[in-house]
Amino acid sequence: MTHLHITSWVVAIILFIVAVLLTKNKNEKPAKIVSMILRLFYLFIIGSGIQLYFLVDPSSGYHIKALLGVLVIVFMELVLAGIKRGKSTTIYWILWFVILAATIYMGFTLPL
């Protein structure tokens, strides 16, 4: 399950960057397709995350880890939506990056 989880978010980050570049370059059709595939990977991340969540002892930092994981996904969507509308996305990028780093750090330091 951890393998699926890690593979899913690594692929999702790559797809996210590709979707950002395509959206910025106004390649609307490919951008839409990549965004749809990206959303499919959100489901893999959340699905494998939930399974891990039920595997572990619910006492420790897993609630926060899971919440941060969901927020990473939320900010990817906010960045993409912002670019599409031509709004500034700096704050979303910063929050995305900080929360992503915190999520990966927590994931690897939590005892699983």
Contact with ligand HEM (CB under 6 A) among 19, 22, 34, 72: 72
Contact with ligand HEM (CB under 6 A) among 18, 56, 74, 81: 56
Mask for 9-48, x = binds ligand HEM (CB under 6 A): x-----------------------------------xx--
Binding to ligand HEM by residue 102, rule CB under 6 A? no
Over the range 83-106, which residues count as b (16 or more CB within 10 Å of their CB) and which as e? beeeeebeebeebbeebbeebeeb
Contact with ligand HEM (CB under 6 A) among 4, 7, 21, 53: 53
How many Cβ atoms are within 10 Å of 110's Cβ, its own excluded? Answer: 14
Q: How far apart, in Å, do the first and last CA atoms of the chain sit?
A: 11
CA–CA dist 77, 62 (Å, integer): 23
Contact 80, 19 (CB under 8 A): yes
Binding site for ligand HEM (CB under 6 A): 2, 5-6, 9, 45-46, 49-50, 52-53, 56, 62, 65-66, 69-70, 72-73, 100, 103-104, 107-108, 110-112
